Amino acid sequence: MSERRISQLPDEIGRDLHPAERAELVDVWARLGEPSTTRMRDDSQAWEDLQRRIAHGKAARPHLGRRFVLPPRRLIAIAIAASVLIAASIAMLGNTRSTVITAEPGAITEHRLPDGSSVLLNSGSRIEYRSRFHRGLVAERRREVRLHGEAIFDVAAGHRTFVVETLHARVTVEGTRFNVRSWTGAHDVGTSVTLLSGRVRVHAPDGSVALLERPGDVSRIDADRESIERLSVEIDRADAWTRRGFVMEDAPIGAILDELARRHAVTIETAANVDLAARMSVFYNSDADVRTILQDISLARGLTFSRTSVGFLLETG
Amino acid sequence: MQSNAASDEAVDFTALSARLKESDPTAFEVLFRHLRRRLVAFVWALVRDADVADDIVQDVFVELWAGRKRIDADRSLKALLYRMARNRAYNHLRDRKTRRAKGDMIRTEMRLLTTSNGHEAALDAEMLGEALNRWLLELPERRRDALLLSRYEELSHAEIARVMDISPRTVNNHIVRALRELNERLTRYKATAQP
């Protein structure tokens, strides 16, 4: 604030007053100290909130959590004990910021993306995208989401291409529903894309592209092979996890146990002589108990399992 | 924690106005970072609720952006924003039952009485400054607003006239009356404080 204002009554005020009275008012004016005010959030936070309000096209209501970074409107937790971790990280340049959404082990959660698309996240999975699909007040050229884990995307129609990026593949989409599975770790490393409806193009690091057009079309990119393998599956099996089912087709035991552990939020240990590379298939179309599944696996592979303080232990029988 | 922006002299509101009309998002952000805190402080003086004040100012900027093409670059952008903020503040007070506002007033008065009665020593300039500020917030609306806008928001008579939808002459009258009232309270305060 300029010095002039703080100490001196502006000339234009009280011009017609008697000098003596005006002198008193000059005194009062000077005595008015710093205005009492309230604590308020900083400009950058407020700016982020403002962009959010503008993007949503209407003024927010006072009682909604405006001081926190909220995920887009609809959030449906399918799992009973679901909790979603949302971390916002502020990018170095400009006003861009990423939203990270994680489904905790044991949880299956659904989220709406800024463009109206929705994504179902399987246990232990994580997606990251630039908030609002905007940079500042300007829309990005494409809608991009990075995925680690497994998710089903229901992509809203729009001019901009919808892109899902995993460590091994890039999936471009126009108005479609598809399952993307991409894990790192010891087993089952690579990306699988299953088309549920619509059309999807999968791009591999080596430049090859697969077009998925029929529901059930699968493209698989293994981490070591880097080119695309095509398969076909029944739709019911690809999205069984959304009904809390458990389906894994011709997968290494290690991968099956990893998935089981994530889905049920338990730790599954194995004795050294258990062959984790051996392949098998399991089909549970709807909610299946972890013990039931372990029992079946043990029977099929000649193993035994026992309870531990943190989950289960599998050993050769 | 005052605004970290430069003084108003350093900001060219006319240029910002023109750029805003052209949908320049940087101009919008500069304006926001420069004026937001002052606007919140002003609205807070009216509504006395930090959350509501924040919301109202956010709404003002949403509205400003929505109507940016209609901005008259020749007229004071500052005045426009304060006008929008003030109108919304009064809408809020009207929608909310006024009983609550009166309750706030009563509490403030009681606090004030305690201060003067407990005051034994000679006048303390700082305490007086605080007291004056409280009395300012308790002034009748028009007098208070005119004084706030002049004293703390550095608006000219012409700009205040635009904010409050009155003539510059009336602005002057409100400010003078506000100062007179504060002067009276100050005199009474001094009188009761003397041993």
Rounded to an integer, the average pLDDT of A220-241 is 81
Confidence of residue A4 (pLDDT cuts 50, 70, 90): very low
Rounded to an integer, the average pLDDT of B56-74 is 91
Rounded to an integer, the average pLDDT of A243-268 is 90
Lowest mean pLDDT among A280-289, B94-103, B177-186: B94-103
Which of B22, B62, B63 to mutate to test binding with chain A, by most A CBs within 10 Å of its CB? B62
Rounded to an integer, the average pLDDT of A274-284 is 89
Q: Chain B: residue nearest A9 by CA?
A: B151
Rounded Cα distance, A48 and A91, in Å: 12
Rounded Cα distance, A219 and B89, in Å: 58
- pLDDT of B179 strictly over 90: yes
Rounded Cα distance, A269 and A313, in Å: 5
CB < 8 Å to A33, chain B: 126, 129-130, 132-133
Give the range with max mean pLDDT: A2-11, A28-37, A125-134, A244-253: A244-253
- Alpha-carbon Rg for chain B in angstroms: 19
- Return mean pLDDT, chain B: 80
One-letter-per-residue 3-state SS of A90-108: ECCCCCCEEEEEEECCCCC
The pLDDT of residue A57 is: 63
Rounded to an integer, the average pLDDT of A300-311 is 89
The per-residue pLDDT for range B143-165, each reduced to its tens digit, is: 999 999 999 888 999 999 999 99
Dihedrals phi, psi of B33, to nearest 5 degrees: -70, -25
Using alpha carbons, select from B144, B161, B136, B30 the residue that is nearest to residue A28. B136
Rounded to an integer, the average pLDDT of B2-7 is 44
The pLDDT of residue A198 is: 82
DSSP string of A268-279, one letter each residue:
EEE-TTS-SS-E
Using alpha carbons, select from A189, A14, A141 the residue that is nearest to residue B157. A14
Rounded to an integer, the average pLDDT of A154-180 is 80
DSSP string of A95-162, one letter each residue:
T-EEEEEEEPTT--EEEE-TTS-EEEE-TT-EEEEEGGGEETTEE-SSEEEEEEEEEEEEPPP-SSPE
The pLDDT of residue A166 is: 87
- Return mean pLDDT, chain A: 78
A33 and B25 in contact by Cβ < 8 A? no
The pLDDT of residue B103 is: 45
Contact yes or no for A274/A298 (Cβ under 8 A) = no
Give contacts of A 286-305 with B, CB under 8 A.
Answer: none
Rounded to an integer, the average pLDDT of B18-38 is 92
The pLDDT of residue B143 is: 94
CB < 8 Å to A34, chain B: 2, 129
Min distance A4 CA to chain B CA atoms (Å)? 10
Contact yes or no for A311/A267 (Cβ under 8 A) = yes
Rounded Cα distance, A36 and B71, in Å: 32
- pLDDT of A63 strictly over 50: no
Rounded to an integer, the average pLDDT of A236-252 is 85
Rounded to an integer, the average pLDDT of A220-249 is 82
Q: Which residue has the higher pLDDT, B104 or A291?
A: A291
The pTM of the full predicted model, rounded to 2 decimals, is 0.46
Rounded to an integer, the average pLDDT of A44-61 is 77
Q: Chain A: residue nearest B32 by CA?
A: A47
Rounded to an integer, the average pLDDT of A181-209 is 85
Is B140 exposed, middle or buried, given 0-12, 13-18 or 19+ CB atoms closer than 10 A?
Answer: exposed
Within an 8 Å CB–CB cutoff, is residue A23 touching chain B? no
Q: In b/e form, how buried is each residue of B33-44, taking b as 16+ CB within 10 angstroms?
A: bbbbbbbbbbbb
